[in-house]
Structure 1
């Protein structure tokens, strides 16, 4: 297993860690005309329970 020969400096460590970012999830509008709530793409709408124009689950 590879082991670092020297300790990584604080500057280099912080520079590397500064690149870790989170991004906001992509939201799309529900295709149900009476709902139109934001939801994740390719996922059943949690509000109305529809997916691809058909009822899949009971609305919450």
Structure 2
């Protein structure tokens, strides 16, 4: 297993970690015409409880 020979400086460590950005979650509009709320794709809508045109969760 590779082991670093020298301690990585604080500036180099922070420069490397600066690329660890949180990505914005993907959102799509609910296909239910009455709802239209933003939701994650392939998930049940939290507002109306529908998934792929069927009522799955009672709201």
1:3-57 alpha-carbon deviations (Å, 9 max, x no partner)? 3221101121111011110111111000111100000000000010000000001
Partners of 1:18 and 1:24 in 2: CA distance: 16
TM-score by length of 1: 0.89
Of residues 34-43 and 3-12 in structure 1, the stretch that sits farther from structure 2 once superposed is 3-12
- Equivalent runs, 1:31-42 vs 2, <5 Å: 31-42=31-42
Q: Which residue of 1 aligns with 2:4?
A: 4
- Check if 1:30 corresponds to 2:30: yes
SS at match of 1:14: helix
Query: What are structure 1's unaligned runs of at least 5 residues?
Result: none
RMSD of Structure 2 on Structure 1 (CA): 1.0
- Counterparts of 2:24 and 2:9 in 1: how far apart (Å)? 31
Which residue number in structure 1 is paired with residue 56 of structure 2? 56
Q: Which sections of structure 2, spanning at least 5 residues, go unmatched?
A: none
